[in-house]
Amino acid sequence: MNASASSVHRSPRENAIRYDAKRDLFWLVLRPWVFLSRFLELLGAFLFLLFTLLTNGSSKDEKIQKDIGIQLLNTLTNLGPCFIKLGQALSTRPDLVNRHWLDELTQLQDNLPSFKHEIALQIIEEDLGAKAGQLFEDFPETPCAAASLGQVYKARLHGNCWVAVKVQRPDLVFLLRRDLVIIRMFCVLFSPFLPLNLGFGLGEIIDEFGKSLFLEIDYLEEANNAERFSRLFADNPAVTVPRVERLLSSRRVITTSWIDGTKLGDREELEKNNLDCSSLIRTGVTSGIQQLLEFGYFHADPHPGNLFALSGKSGDFGHLAYVDFGMMDYISDIDRLTLTGAIVHLINRDFDLLAKDFQSLGFLSSDFDLKSIVPALEEVLGDAIGESVTSFNFKVITDRFSELMFDYPFRVPARFALIIRAVVSQEGLALKLDPDFKIVGVAYPYVAKRLLAADTIEMIEILLGIIFDKHGNLRLDRIENLLDTLIQDSQSPALEIVPITGAGIKLILGKEGLYLRRRLLMTLIKNDRLNTSDLASLVGLIRRKFGINLKSKISQVFVQDVM
């Protein structure tokens, strides 16, 4: 840099404005000229779009469908950031959106119109205290990408040290406050007429969306998010996170190391660069599940513009880079454990326990009688599972639940709005690369590994719920299913088994496995008689799957427990 980092002056800025539905409604009511003009603009745009869909939406003519996609793209682009975000979410759902429209909507990810270069330079100077020409050895005159909330420049610091400089669009606080108030107003007014039983929860979902957007335009918050995310994946060679240049970042400007990769959205481009789509999907989905069920901190906007494929592989996992950490969220420990248990209960068809999971997560009220919904869950979700885990995906869940939500008091808790968005976006991206992809088929093996390497009392409780029935008998069929799940579709089964073998031995023989060993002892002693058939079957199963003999070691530890 021409100017040393230590000499960069930061002009003081007031704290970033946060989202507040009541305050922002009052703010807009006091500006009726702003409200009325925007309301009429939105009404006109959507009425025109609705007329087009009603007249031509069912046409089989590819040109007509492509024209509708272009109109949809232009409408959302012209309406601004809030609506562009909606279009980005739709662009990851090839199973929900006409493929001709999808081709156009993918341009919303990072191919939007840029704002004036002079304004970007002015924002850089105001926030970083010096001109771009002083801060960077080389700063281009045009951005390399423009997204919904900012545009990105590929600049050079010293030598060949290339960085990505993201500059925020002007007047974002005003635009977001205005549109969120009107969107929330529309949702609250029209939610009673929606075919789904979402009811009063829809306004809360919009509030969560608003809070996340206002956090997303605070680039200092994004820098914190990126560094935390990087620490979580520090030991994972398959996941790369760009480094934040703190001295060249502010609330409206963020500078990170440049990621030189291929966008994870075009299968042909990936194959052209000799990148394996299946291994990349495995990394993307597994890391997404890990964020939700292990870290409790997740990237809530994993659309193709925010994910890059890198060269190389680590076992069955392709190398992937995440960018843009503006939209992040947390999930509580209680919710993480409940979700883990819900996946297990779903796969094992324990629909009574699954109903309790929905109640614990807030999808059903605490006073609702679960007996009436268990048969419905079994009918709707049981058919969706089919004969194997790999026949199930999240799209099936959402379709089937639309039936349940019409007849039962299901509602989406506000805290799950971004979680659902993240999962839907992740699966939509995977489906775009592989139409036969099934998300639960990847998620369940991860859950199985976590359970067999259980390191907390809560995880051990979930494991016990799988391997013992309500009478205390071993469920060898479920144990075998759990073990088989670990190596399904794996190109290197041995690599899958080795770490789990070690973790399983540690669990069974270690202090944490005391409760598990005692439950196994109870299965040995029935009606005051010694019954070793179940244990012998378990040992035989482990020997077949892992190729090791645990009989003497387990027996030794059991004797110690009894003593």
The C-alpha atoms of residue 147 and residue 167 are separated, in whole angstroms, by: 10
For residue 108, give the amino acid letter: L
Annotated catalytic residue within 95, 127, 218, 301: 301
Cα 393-394-395 angle, rounded to 5 deg: 90
Helix (H) or strand (E) holding 514: helix 514-524
CB 333 within 8 A of CB 457: no
Where residue 392 falls (left for φ over 0; alpha for ψ -120 to 50; beta otherwise) is: beta
Report helix, strand and coil shares of the chain as percent, to nearest 5. Answer: 60, 10, 30
Looking up tokens 């040393």 gives 4
For residue 544, give the amino acid letter: R
Helix (H) or strand (E) holding 156: strand 150-156
* Sign of the four-CA dihedral 40, 151, 312, 494: negative
The C-alpha atoms of residue 170 and residue 173 are separated, in whole angstroms, by: 9
What does the block give as tokens for 496?
């899958």
Active site residue 301: yes
CB 524 within 8 A of CB 534: yes
Residue 14 has a CB neighbour count (10 Å cut-off) of 6
Length of the chain: 563
The C-alpha atoms of residue 450 and residue 489 are separated, in whole angstroms, by: 18
* CA atoms in the 13 A half-sphere facing the CB of 459: 17
DSSP 445-490: HHHHHHHHT--SHHHHHHHHHHHB-TTS-B-HHHHHHHHHHHHTT-
Contacts of 69 (CB under 8 A, 6+ apart): 98, 100, 101, 102, 103, 104, 105
Catalytic site residues? Answer: 301
